[in-house]
């Protein structure tokens, strides 16, 4: 017989009277414990927990918000569709009551909590081979690191959740209180936790050939991005982990469009990808319909600026793979209905669209940035030109460090459009306000909301619903 064990508040530690989540905050969750007293008693239960971790990539954060947050808040795209919460994001006027922000906090910490069940309790599964336990710890560590990396980039200081609490009583309340009512930790501590999880994954996760699972190559790649993103980047570490990736046997696909057509899943450029397996599978890739199709106005409408950037560079190959035009029944302030653009990298509508969490070109350009930052301009541009050669663009050179960094940032804009990177790239490089405050429409007029962006708006507000539920959470400046 299973007994339901509940996460409860201080006022109900001694008497459980409801199965509801009293605090409505993360990472507090409800779970079940076998009659043995173990959270994960068998190998089957452990594997089920692992499946739930990967199924999170079929959820709303990774299918929709991951892409929208990374591109629609930038010069790559407009909000599109008709959701007022998304317009707040696009126009840098987010409120602490924004439901997209609240749900993303919830999704991220729910994903982390799923990882914590494995990390805290997988050793209880006595019929699970030790080698598989170690592998699962490596996988869960990397997925937890990935989610926490997104959290710290979105909100700055954030809670570090490491325990999946399954019971609260007089004896353990002091121990579990920090998980029930977490405080925000300084970014330096958050990055240290992310790095520690990645290092665990390097030791224990599956080999790099397992591209649909959290793997060693992905741990190296994520570490490279983490060291490039944290305050006071460590460019030596960035180069170290980029080199570990580059030594892993990855190669750029010869045909750029093959990256997105689902006929080349798990390809030589892929480091880690979410594996859409159709409806009814753990990852039924429904998110494609949010960006592509003429049945209703879609999210993440390509911007005039991005299309002009492709045109200025003569980048026909990447534009064709990134944007498709259709006749639609609606009009807006940006595009005519007869030739309306859609983001096109997510294009397969049968639930089988894969998408990349990490791929080689991203890491090559991160290494190029590290080389430029350490004054190896020639080496930096050699990597940029490898990426450009794949899409039949001529070689370019940089006059100095600043010029090289600008060229690398523009290359990332074209190479990684609609893959969820641009907002974080602009913030990481300190270029967000400079570039986004000058966004223009198709007539060359500065967009009316471009001036809304300021230093405070580079971070999201802590959701008001979470603050109401947890008195230990503080708010970001400006909200």
CA distance 250 to 217: 10
**Cis peptide leading into residue 402 (ω within 30°):** no
In this prediction, residue 167 carries a pLDDT of 84
Asked if pLDDT for residue 61 goes beyond 80, the answer is yes
CA distance 183 to 359: 34
Instruction: Tell me the per-residue pLDDT of 66-82, one tens digit each, with 9 for 90 and over.
Output: 999 999 999 999 999 99
In this prediction, residue 9 carries a pLDDT of 35
Q: For all residues of the chain together, what is the average pLDDT?
A: 92
Phi then psi dihedrals of residue 342, to 5 deg: -125, 145
Instruction: Tell me the per-residue pLDDT of 232-272, one tens digit each, with 9 for 90 and over.
Output: 999 999 999 999 999 999 999 999 999 999 999 999 999 99
Question: Of 3-12, 260-269, 306-315, which gets the smallest average pLDDT?
Answer: 3-12
DSSP 252-300: --SSGGGGTSSSSTT-TTEEEEE----TTSTT--TTHHHHS-SSSPPEE
| Over residues 13-29, mean pLDDT | 34
Other beta carbons within 10 angstroms of residue 330's beta carbon come to: 12
CA distance 464 to 461: 8
In this prediction, residue 176 carries a pLDDT of 87
In this prediction, residue 16 carries a pLDDT of 28
Domains parsed from the chain with CATH numbers: 3-276+355-442 (1.25.40.390), 288-343 (no CATH)
Asked if pLDDT for residue 34 goes beyond 90, the answer is no
Instruction: Tell me the per-residue pLDDT of 120-137, one tens digit each, with 9 for 90 and over.
Output: 999 999 999 999 999 999
Q: How confident is the model at residue 19 (pLDDT cuts 50, 70, 90)?
A: very low
Residues 6+ apart with CB under 8 A from 432: 423, 426, 453, 458
Instruction: Tell me the per-residue pLDDT of 37-46, one tens digit each, with 9 for 90 and over.
Output: 689 999 999 9
Instruction: Tell me the per-residue pLDDT of 287-301, one tens digit each, with 9 for 90 and over.
Output: 999 999 999 999 999
CA distance 93 to 320: 32
In this prediction, residue 450 carries a pLDDT of 97
Asked if pLDDT for residue 13 goes beyond 60, the answer is no
Asked if pLDDT for residue 85 goes beyond 60, the answer is yes
Torsion angle (degrees, nearest 10) of CA 226, 229, 230, 235: 80
Question: Of 6-10, 220-224, 260-264, 452-456, which gets the smallest average pLDDT?
Answer: 6-10
| Over residues 473-478, mean pLDDT | 98
In this prediction, residue 38 carries a pLDDT of 87
Asked if pLDDT for residue 441 goes beyond 50, the answer is yes
């Amino acid at each position: 017989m299973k007994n339901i064990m509940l996460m409860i508040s201080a006022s109900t530690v001694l008497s459980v009277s409801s199965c509801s989540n009293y605090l409505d905050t993360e990472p507090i969750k409800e779970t079940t414990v076998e009659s043995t007293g173990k959270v994960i008693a068998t190998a089957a239960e452990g594997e089920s927990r692992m499946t739930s971790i990967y199924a999170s990539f079929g959820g709303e954060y990774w299918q929709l918000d991951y892409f929208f947050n990374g591109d629609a808040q930038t010069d790559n795209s407009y909000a599109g569709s008709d959701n007022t919460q998304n317009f707040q994001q696009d126009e840098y006027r987010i409120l602490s009551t924004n439901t997209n922000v609240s749900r993303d906090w919830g999704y991220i910490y729910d994903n982390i909590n799923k990882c914590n069940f494995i990390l805290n309790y997988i050793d209880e599964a006595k019929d699970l081979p030790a080698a598989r336990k170690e592998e699962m710890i490596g996988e869960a560590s990397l997925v937890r690191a990935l989610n926490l990396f997104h959290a710290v980039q979105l909100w700055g200081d954030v809670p570090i959740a490491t325990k999946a609490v399954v019971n609260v009583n007089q004896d353990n309340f002091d121990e579990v209180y920090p998980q029930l009512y977490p405080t925000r930790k300084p970014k330096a501590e958050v990055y240290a936790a992310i790095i520690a999880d990645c290092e665990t994954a390097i030791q224990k996760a599956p080999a790099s050939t397992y591209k649909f699972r959290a793997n060693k190559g992905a741990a190296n790649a994520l570490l490279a991005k983490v060291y490039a993103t944290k305050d006071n980047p460590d460019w030596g570490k960035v180069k170290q982990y980029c080199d570990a990736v580059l030594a892993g046997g990855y190669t750029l696909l010869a045909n750029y469009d093959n990256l997105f057509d689902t006929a080349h899943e798990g390809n030589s450029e892929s480091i880690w990808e979410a594996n859409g397996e159709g409806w009814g599978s753990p990852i039924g890739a429904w998110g494609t319909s949010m960006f592509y199709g003429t049945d209703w106005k879609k999210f993440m409408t390509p911007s005039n600026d991005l299309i002009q950037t492709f045109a200025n560079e003569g980048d026909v190959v990447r534009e064709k793979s990134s944007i498709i035009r259709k006749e639609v029944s609606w009009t807006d302030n940006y595009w005519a209905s007869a030739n309306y653009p859609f983001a096109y990298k997510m294009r397969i509508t049968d639930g089988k669209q894969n998408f990349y969490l990490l791929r080689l070109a991203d890491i090559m350009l991160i290494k190029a940035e590290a080389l430029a930052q350490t004054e190896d301009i020639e080496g930096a541009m050699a990597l940029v030109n490898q990426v450009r050669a794949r899409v039949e663009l001529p070689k370019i050179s940089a006059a100095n460090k600043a010029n090289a960094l600008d060229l690398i940032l523009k290359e990332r804009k074209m190479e990684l459009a609609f893959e969820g990177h641009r907002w974080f790239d602009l913030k990481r490089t300190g270029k967000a306000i400079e570039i986004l405050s000058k966004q223009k429409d198709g007539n060359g007029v500065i967009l009316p909301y471009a001036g809304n962006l300021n230093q405070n708006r580079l971070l999201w507000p802590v959701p008001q619903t979470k603050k109401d539920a947890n008195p230990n959470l503080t708010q970001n400046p400006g909200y």
